[in-house]
A and B are shown apart, each in its own frame.
Chain A
């Protein structure tokens, strides 16, 4: 079945630095990528939706200059957390879907970010 490889699985960074998270679709073309954030005991909150080759659409309250999303190819999307702060510590998950697929959303395994 469809697989999305997400890495790193966990990262610890210093406050003020930037962190890049990658999601690759391994055996299908991900025309749309969703990026979520999940705080402990909370639901997955959609941060942004990106379609290959176009600018990402950010949800209300998500700073587009802080969370940079690139979806330049059909198999790779990246999320860069710029100038990370401790409050950005969270679980980030990507979810990809292929064009024409019925509800088939494939999730990456998630990245646990800790900013110290």
Chain B
């Protein structure tokens, strides 16, 4: 089955600096890669996603890049703000039991220091 590895597990950056979180996946057939943000006491929320036929996607201060050959994808947050502090999860869509399911990485706890 699919295996998604995410690094780092914790990340602390100064407000205004950039943050990068990296993920690798094992199943070359995976074709959709979303990123979710989980704030304290809440469920994860989708912040950005990318399909396998695209190399990069940007939405204001966040961007995601995908390298299909190397099977890794990254989340980039620029000009970080205190409200960016949260746990971030990458995921890869994988075919299992005839249905497609998301396999999540282990999560990265991002802390923005004022």
Do they bind each other? no
Q: Give residues in B with beta carbon < 8 Å to A.
A: none
